[in-house]
Amino acid sequence: MTMRWMAVALWAALAGGGAPKAMDFTGPVERFAPGVVSTSFSEVRLTLSPDGGTAIWFSRNRPGGAGGYDLWMSRRHGDGWSPPVPLPFNTPGRDFDPAFSADGRQLYFCSDRPGGAGGDDLYRVAVEGAAFGAVEWLGPAVNSTGNEFAPMLSPGGDRLLFSSDRAGGAGRQDLYVATRDGAGFAQAGALPGGVNTGADEFDATFLDDGSTIVFSRAADLRRDRVDLYVTGVGPAGYDAGERLADGVNHPRYDSYAPMLDWSQPRRLLFSGQRDETGGTEVLSVVYSLPPAR
């Protein structure tokens, strides 16, 4: 059996022979922490700690950080949120796409800081109470000379999902996965199946079942509208996916950067613009999945 088909068999086994991919939404799309997180600035890919007490996201243009792209943090206080502060390990370059692990003990993110393989690379830091550990590069099994975006560890902690425009993919940005290997990860490979196309597939998150994936797609992410899609794994891997309903996606503006809310695992967080005057905000919606077959 080839390595590719071993990977397909593994994913099918994890999904119990075919995970559901249909999603229903059981409430309205809401702005997350308006005036604190959702502002007139560009606020993207918020991740919540498992206890719901810490929100971390990145902004392209919020003033007061170390560079143009910075990671920001706010703490919950009662029914509200503290004023955002930049994280201490931001650099003058690009620091973006944060994601807590399910246990809240690690924060994964992207950066173009010196010392990587080239372009944007994947990193993590240990979360130590209210502090952070040293920044750790995830190594050459995961990173390439291209650009790696949007790391997301599976709920079980055994798989790292991300996107890359490295050579050998189906097109532009494609979805990749690397399995846990001790404290690090084995060599990454393209997500099995037909999910990767000649378009940009990026900014992916596992849902709480550990196999269904919501991701962003655009023919060209720098030129065309970005929409959210959902796909589930079957015997041949992940198919090309289904576009999420209008109301979550917007007929005019981008919807992207989905992230599972670890504190409320049936809530999906994502970013988007909803009117002509607003910036890119963090939005949330409650979802349901059909029972696994």
Give the model confidence (pLDDT) of 201-246 as tens digits.
999 999 999 999 999 999 998 899 999 999 999 999 999 999 999 9
- The helix/strand/coil state of 165 is coil
Give the H or E element holding residue 58.
Answer: strand 54-59
Report if residue 239 sits inside a domain. Answer: yes
Residue 6 has pLDDT above 90, yes or no: no
Report if residue 287 sits inside a domain. Answer: no
Give the model confidence (pLDDT) of 30-64 as tens digits.
999 999 999 999 999 999 999 999 999 999 999 99
pTM (2 d.p.): 0.93
Q: Which residues span the domain enclosing 201?
A: 3-277
Alpha-carbon distance of 118 to 126, in angstroms, equals: 23
Which of 236, 231, 178 lies closest to 205, judged by CA?
Answer: 231
Report if residue 283 sits inside a domain. Answer: no
More confident: 13 or 83: 83
- What's the whole-number mean pLDDT along residues 73-93? 96
Report if residue 282 sits inside a domain. Answer: no
Q: What is the CATH number of the domain that holds 81?
A: 2.120.10.30
- Among 44-48, 51-55, 167-171, 258-262, the minimum mean pLDDT is found in 167-171
Split into its structural domains, the chain has a count of 1
- Residue 242's CB is within 10 A of a number of other CB atoms, namely 13
Report if residue 290 sits inside a domain. Answer: no
- What's the whole-number mean pLDDT along residues 86-92? 97
At 15, the pLDDT band (50, 70, 90 cuts) reads: very low
Report if residue 114 sits inside a domain. Answer: yes
Residue 17 has pLDDT above 70, yes or no: no
Give the model confidence (pLDDT) of 126-160 as tens digits.
999 889 999 999 999 999 999 999 999 999 999 99
Report if residue 169 sits inside a domain. Answer: yes
Report if residue 284 sits inside a domain. Answer: no
| C-alpha torsion angle, residues 251, 261, 143, 211 (rounded to 10) | -90
